[in-house]
């Protein structure tokens, strides 16, 4: 009988201690020498980095928008070049697609030359300042220009156009927009044959 009373009392004491511990928020009773430091914020290339944010924003705009600048005439030239490049990439051997690409890219290059505004010296050499080069470079960095650049690279990967196909006044500058497949060593007057959609892969 005494053992029973002892066990019941011990049970009550245990229950009371458990309830008391819970009401005090389950304190763990660590030594005062243990200090908990607050978490420190960390930075990576996407959060807290203005340069990374700007780069991501430009990439998104280039992929999802067709925004140019406030110059309606330049925007029309950009759109014409974009459409002509896409058409040539799909049909590189077509006479009309080739003529349209040459015409629109010539206009695109002349617009860049106008922005650059270099003046010839007495020897006929063009003289340009660093400020002029920067202004001209900035004029072809809109989201729409970036789409044009990508489309032109895809178009000129198909071959079939050489420097001599362009008017004399743009032959020197047009190469910077045509992409690496239009550099002298990679030019070819013969376009690549289109792959047949019914061709089987072995």
Tens-place pLDDT, residues 39-49? 555 555 545 55
Tokens of 182: 């239009």
pLDDT at 202 over 50: no
Within a domain: residue 155?
Answer: yes
- The DSSP 8-state label assigned to residue 126 in this structure reads E
Within a domain: residue 13?
Answer: no
Q: Output the pLDDT for position 52.
A: 56
Q: Output the pLDDT for position 197.
A: 43
Within a domain: residue 171?
Answer: yes
pLDDT at 186 over 80: no
**Cα–Cα distances in Å, from 27 out to 23, 55, 133?**
10, 49, 69
pLDDT at 159 over 60: yes
| Cα four-point dihedral sign 191, 77, 138, 51 | negative
Within a domain: residue 18?
Answer: no
Is the distance from CB of 104 to CB of 81 less than 8 angstroms?
A: yes
Tens-place pLDDT, residues 24-44? 555 555 444 445 555 555 555
Q: Of residues 57 and 172, which shows the higher confidence score?
A: 172
Is the distance from CB of 88 to CB of 101 less than 8 angstroms?
A: yes
pLDDT at 79 over 80: yes
Q: Of residues 136 and 2, which shows the higher confidence score?
A: 136
Within a domain: residue 27?
Answer: no
Within a domain: residue 74?
Answer: yes
Closest by Cα among 42, 117, 24, 112 to 74: 112
Within a domain: residue 147?
Answer: yes
- pTM, two decimals, is 0.62
- Give the domain range for residue 110: 50-186
- Looking at the structure of the chain, the number of domains it has is 1
d(CA 29, CA 168): 86
Within a domain: residue 170?
Answer: yes
pLDDT at 75 over 80: yes
Q: Output the pLDDT for position 96.
A: 95
The pLDDT of 51-59, averaged and rounded, is 59
């Amino acid at each position: 009988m005494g053992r029973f009373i002892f066990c019941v009392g011990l049970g009550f004491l245990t229950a009371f201690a458990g309830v008391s511990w819970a009401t005090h928020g389950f304190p763990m009773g660590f030594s005062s020498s243990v200090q908990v430091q607050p978490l420190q914020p960390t930075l990576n290339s996407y959060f807290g980095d203005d340069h990374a944010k700007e780069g991501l924003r430009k990439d998104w705009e280039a992929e999802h928008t067709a925004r140019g600048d406030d110059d309606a005439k330049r925007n029309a030239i950009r759109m014409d070049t974009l459409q002509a490049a896409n058409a040539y990439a799909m049909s590189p051997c077509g006479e009309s697609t080739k003529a349209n690409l040459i015409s629109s890219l010539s206009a695109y290059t002349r617009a860049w030359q106008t922005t650059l505004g270099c003046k010839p010296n007495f020897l006929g050499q063009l003289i340009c300042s660093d400020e002029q080069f920067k202004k001209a470079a900035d004029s072809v960095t809109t989201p729409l220009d970036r789409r044009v650049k990508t489309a032109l690279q895809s178009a000129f990967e198909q071959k079939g156009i050489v420097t001599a196909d362009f008017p004399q006044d743009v032959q020197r500058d047009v190469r910077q927009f045509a992409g690496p497949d239009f550099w002298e060593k990679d030019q070819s007057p013969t376009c690549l044959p289109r792959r047949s959609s019914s061709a089987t892969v072995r």
